Amino acid sequence: MPAWAASLAVLAIAALAILVLRQRLRILDLGVRLELAAADLQRLQQSCARFAPANVVDRFLTDGAATGAERKEITALFADVVSYTALAERLPPAVLARVLNGYYQRMSDAITQHSGHVSTFVGDGILAYFGAFTPNPWQSDDAVRAALAMREALTSYNKELESEGLPPLAIGIGLHRGVVLAGLVGTRDRMEYACIGRTVNVAARVQALTRTEERDILLTAAVREKLDPTLRLEPRPPATVKGIAEPIETFAVP
């Protein structure tokens, strides 16, 4: 082979090697970018999961903010701290915040462990849904078991508070089952996943009844109808509540 031909062959091989190297560098750079993008997406999902269930976040990221609302039958749980105003006046702000955060965490854990989702904190109140995001034929059983777990968790938390010389907490829990409009609601700048309708209002009204009935957990007949029949309940006299025309029949959970 002539010297010039050999030189051309060497140059061709060198050029090909350079092209292969550049292609590999591009692939490597693309892989790094994909890994960074995946990490960013995971962080975004984790952050959003603090405000909405995982399946709602996935739908939001896939379909955008136009994710439609739909009617669903859910069990709503509303819990509230008894005599919160007196407690707030008694404790310094920093101590009150710490006590409430500990309370919120323990109650939220009890709800989550029984297939519920904490929707929002309303002052010292907690609103949670069962069966709002995935079909759950046992949603009412789960809600009652969550309420019982909340009672147990609060008993344990009160022992911690008392060991620090802090006053114990007492709560009232109301449960109701019915149809709501569930979906993303809000403005262009702020949206949240919520359940809207009479069901949530009734749960809040039943929670308020725990004060006059002197029971910490009350549920409606709509919840009772779907419960495990072996669960022991205590019937309470029908009561009239604000905003509801007919008296509500409730049952206490011993």
pLDDT band at 239 (very low <50, low <70, confident <90, very high): very high
pLDDT band at 172 (very low <50, low <70, confident <90, very high): very high
What's the pLDDT at 166? Answer: 94
pLDDT tens readout for residues 113-140:
999 999 988 888 999 999 988 889 999 9
70-81 and 217-220 beta bridge pairing: unpaired
Span 43-52, mean pLDDT?
51
Handedness of CA 211, 212, 218, 223 (dihedral sign): negative
- pTM, whole model, 2 decimals? 0.76
Which class in CATH covers the domain with range 54-252? alpha beta
Q: What is the DSSP letter of 32?
A: H
Contacts 24+ apart (CB under 8 A), 20-28: none
**Phi-psi category of 64—alpha, beta or left, where left has phi over 0 and alpha has psi -120 to 50?**
left
pLDDT tens readout for residues 209-221:
999 999 999 999 9
Q: Strand locations in the chain, DSSP E?
A: 70-81, 116-122, 125-130, 171-186, 191-196, 217-220, 234-239, 248-252
Mean pLDDT over each residue of the chain, to the nearest integer: 83
What is d(CA 204, CA 175) in angstroms, rounded to the nearest whole number? 8
> How many Cβ atoms sit within 10 Å of the Cβ of residue 24?
10
What is d(CA 232, CA 251) in angstroms, rounded to the nearest whole number? 10
Contact between 75 and 129 under an 8 Å Cβ cutoff? The reply is yes
SS3 137: coil
Q: Strand locations in 123-243, DSSP E?
A: 125-130, 171-186, 191-196, 217-220, 234-239
Nearest of 62, 115, 35, 39 to residue 47 by alpha carbon: 39
- For 157, phi then psi, to 5°, come to -65, -35
**Would you kindly state where each structural domain of the chain is located, as residue ranges?**
1-48, 54-252
Residue 232 has which token pair?
């022991």
* 110 vs 242, more confident: 110
Q: CA separation (Å) from 250 to 23, 208, 218?
A: 71, 12, 6
What is d(CA 170, CA 207) in angstroms, rounded to the nearest whole number? 13
